[in-house]
Amino acid sequence: MAKQKITPSIDPAACYVLDVAELMGISTSFSRAANHKPCTVGSGQAGVCCKNCYMGPCRITKEGQVGICGATLETIAARNLARAIAAGAAAHSDHGRDLAFTLHAVATGEAQGYAIRDEAKLYAVAAKHGIPTKGKTVMETALDVANKAISEFGQQRGELSYISTAPPKRQKLWRDQRVAPRGIDREVVEILHRTHIGDDQDASHILLSAVRTALSDGWGGSMWATDISDILFGTPSPKVGGVNLGCLEEKQVNIIVHGHEPTLSEMIVAAVQDPDLIEYAKSKGAEGINLAGICCTANEVMMRQGIPSAGNFLTQELAILTGAVEAMVVDVQCIMQSLVGVAEHFHTEIITTSPKVKITGATHIEFDEHHAMDIAKNIVRRAIDNYANRGEMHIPTGDGMSEQMVPGFSHEYLAYMQGGNYRASFRPLNDAIASGRIRGVAANVGCNNPGFTHDQVHMDVVAELLKNDVLVVSTGCGAIAAGKYGYMKGSTALDPEKVGPGLREVCEAIGIPPVLHLGSCVDNSRILTVLSQMATEGGLGDDISDIPAVGLAPEWMSEKALAIATYCVGSGAYVIMGVRNPVDFSDAVSHIMSNEWEERFGGKLEFVIEAEEIVRHTLEHIDKKRAALKLPAYDPARFGESGDAALAAYLELPVEEQMAELYG
Ligand code: NFS
């Protein structure tokens, strides 16, 4: 069957550069996706395939067929899914482990250029884990926190320490269901063992252990990654940042940091501000050095430093196609191998930096935290030297090619913005939901997928939810999408065409955009913390599963997204993923993830493709939870009259002036 042609993107900057790619005959993920013929063996679209031993592979195309060992369709589907969840959990958690080692190196004075930027957060994290701090120096405390984190990866018995920060009812449920994770690495390894030939062969049992593994990511590896990043680089608070390809500068040296870990990118942020390097750039004819990010590295440095984001996952090749990027510096995860091929048409140098990731054809400059600043400066110098090699440029400029956004809503800042230093809490948010001003909360997260129009489902879903008074929080590539289309500006919250009357009142009162950027994908752990705080604040039940909230990943593609979805479900949330159901061939396994998990955890995982249907399911769930809490039924007619003219005028100001008024 001929593949239906889809519009590649709703982003005018992306479309502009895709035209350049077409003219130059350069293939991108967009063109490859358009020409892609799905592999029908084991793809889940025409049955399931088991490759877990070498008698096969065995392909099962209908109920009743079994593999050579006798494995059923359900077993194979569950095993494949569990392995994907384990891979996603491993990626997030290994990122957390590296940060723990960086903190250790900082505490022992071995990490060049790093410091403890947020001592208050260090002490808060120490307190969370019961680490004594009395009479200890900051560095002694940092060492204890680092050692505690490192120990949780190899821990064999007991349970992860963050489990004790969940609502008490949830902790009990995890213990009763025997899914409280024991150690981060142990859970990942156990999935690999259980899914080996001849081990766990009960779909429900396999998937229960996948939940435990996912929880070791959300309440383990990812939570450590977030907390340690905040300790080392600062807890995010609102900043102003630019977003999209229009942020690249024609007359400056452009460097892009892409991937996930903030360790090297934070050093590059410092290096590009080095007066000697700026002078060096000027000596080569550039007006300065412009740093931008892509994917979650962008989110990390934007949340903390206001560094612009050149775009999300599908923008990575397009940034090179502008011809204006001197160096793209990558670390781990979501890095397309095709970058090297695209860069061959331009002067861009692709630099891999992680000891774990090399790409054939790229320059490898291995990162080592002991010499981080020297390495960062070396990379910046190489980029400056490359400026003279630029050819023709195609930076998208003009309307819609870049936007301004306000990221930086850490859970600490969310509590602060609702009550200040002395009354920081989630009470106002809970009250706004209870009164019906805010109908509920949706977390719109996750990737782009070139099988769908870039950003389209993200934006259709977000736009409709805001009109229905649903407060949206966002992370990962979904957050970058929301930023690109103006949803992360305070002024958007005032627009009655875009935001429902009750939500508008709340955004006006606090001075926030209608979509709140909570960070990178490991920062979905911040969403777990927010939900736990909302559940313990009172007024919305006493567990995460009581809250009128939904998790959405409408354009997902990575195994990490499956891990996130699964730990959210295990934590009590209803999660809707788009694209397609990876186990749709097995009704039994789909049933386990929705009905059975809902009975066990109060949360469920479903796959819904169309934006309209995603919104319908989301609102139905929110209203069902409101009714269960005996809250008034949603009625937008009761709100929207409290607009304060002065505040409205303030919100009309350009975003930099808004920030200047707020923060001086
Ligand atoms: Ni998340 Fe962040 Fe983006 Fe998807 Fe990749 S960058 S970790 S996996 S593509 S949201």
Whether 420 has a pLDDT exceeding 90, the answer reads no
Residue 2: band (very low, low, confident or very high) from pLDDT cuts 50, 70, 90: very low
The model's pLDDT over 299-357, given as tens digits with 9 standing for 90+, comes to: 999 999 999 999 999 999 999 999 999 999 999 999 999 999 999 999 999 999 999 99
pLDDT, mean of residues 244-260: 97
Ligand 1 centroid–CA 448 distance in Å is 8
435-451 pLDDT, tens digit per residue, is: 999 999 999 999 999 99
Domain CATH for 353:
3.40.50.2030
The domain containing residue 274 runs over which residues?
241-389
Q: Is the Cβ atom of 524 under 6 angstroms away from ligand 1?
A: no
pLDDT at 198 over 50: yes
**Residue with CA at minimum distance from ligand 1 atom 6:** 295
| 198 and 295 fall within a common domain | no
pLDDT category of residue 1 using cuts at 50, 70 and 90: very low
What are 573-617's pLDDT values in tens digits?
A: 999 999 999 998 899 999 999 999 999 999 999 999 999 999 999
Residue 15 forms beta bridges with which residues? none
For ligand 1, say whether the CB of 446 is within 6 Å of any of its atoms: yes
Tell whether 348 and 469 lie within a shared domain: no
179 lines ligand 1 (CB under 6 A): no
In ligand 1, the atom with minimum distance to the C-alpha of 520 is: 2
**Number of domains making up the chain:** 3
Looking at the fold, whether 284 and 417 belong to one and the same domain comes out as no
Domain end among 202, 233, 264:
233
- Identify the pLDDT of residue 435: 93
Question: What is the 261 CA–ligand 1 centroid distance (Å)?
Answer: 12
Q: How far apart are CA 499 and CA 497, in angstroms?
A: 6
Q: If you take atom 2 of ligand 1, which residue's CA is the nearest one?
A: 296
Neighbours of 501 (CB within 10 A): 18
Q: Establish whether residue 476 lines the binding site of ligand 1, counting it when its CB lies within 6 angstroms of any ligand atom.
A: yes
β-bridge pairing 574-577 and 604-607: parallel
CATH number at residue 135: 1.20.1270.30
10 Å CB burial of residue 537 (0-12, 13-18, 19+) is middle
Tell me if 404 CB under 6 Å of ligand 1.
no
| 216 and 126 share one domain | yes
In a domain, 194, yes or no: yes
Same domain for 373 and 413? no
563 pocket-lining for ligand 1 (C-beta < 6 Å): no
The predicted structure's pLDDT at residue 425: 84
Hunting for tokens 């001197």 — which residue is that?
326
Please give the single-letter amino acid code of residue 20: V
User: Would you say residue 290 lies in a domain?
Assistant: yes
Whether residue 226 sits in one domain with residue 342: no
Q: Give per-residue pLDDT as tens, 514-562.
A: 999 999 999 999 999 999 999 999 899 999 999 999 999 999 999 999 9
The identity of residue 510, as a single letter, is I
Instruction: Identify whether 28 is part of a domain.
Output: no
Tokens describing residue 522:
């490991």
| Any ligand 1 atom below 6 A from CB of 293 | no
Tell whether 269 is covered by a domain: yes
Using CA atoms, how far apart are residues 568 and 296, in angstroms rounded to an integer? 19
Percent of the chain with pLDDT over 70: 95
If one residue of 526, 558, 559, 579 were mutated to test the ligand 1 pocket, choosing by the most ligand atoms within 8 A of its CB, it would be: 558
64 located within any domain: no
| CB-ligand 1 contact for 554 (6 Å cutoff) | no
Same domain, 269 and 308: yes
Q: In angstroms, what is the span from residue 266 Cα to ligand 1's centroid? A: 19
Mean pLDDT score of the chain, rounded to an integer? 94
Same domain, 431 and 333: no
Are 139 and 187 found together in one domain?
Answer: yes
Report, as an integer, the average pLDDT of 108-116. 93
Ligand 1 touching residue 291 (CB < 6 A)? no
Q: What is the pLDDT of residue 656?
A: 75
CA–centroid distance for 540 within its chain: 26
Residues 414 and 473 in one domain: yes
Name the residue with the closest Cα to ligand 1, atom 9.
Answer: 447
**Model pTM greater than 0.85?**
yes
User: 389, 424, 443 — which closes off a domain?
Assistant: 389
Cis ω before 355 (30° cut-off from 0): no
From 331, 355, 389, give the residue that closes a domain.
389
Phi, psi of 543 (to 5 degrees): -150, 160
Please indicate, yes or no, whether residues 309 and 385 belong to a single structural domain of this protein.
yes
Q: Is 592 in the pocket of ligand 1 (CB under 6 A)?
A: no
Q: Is residue 20 part of a domain?
A: no
State the Cα–Cα distance between residues 177 and 597, nearest whole angstrom: 11
Model confidence at 217: pLDDT above 50: yes
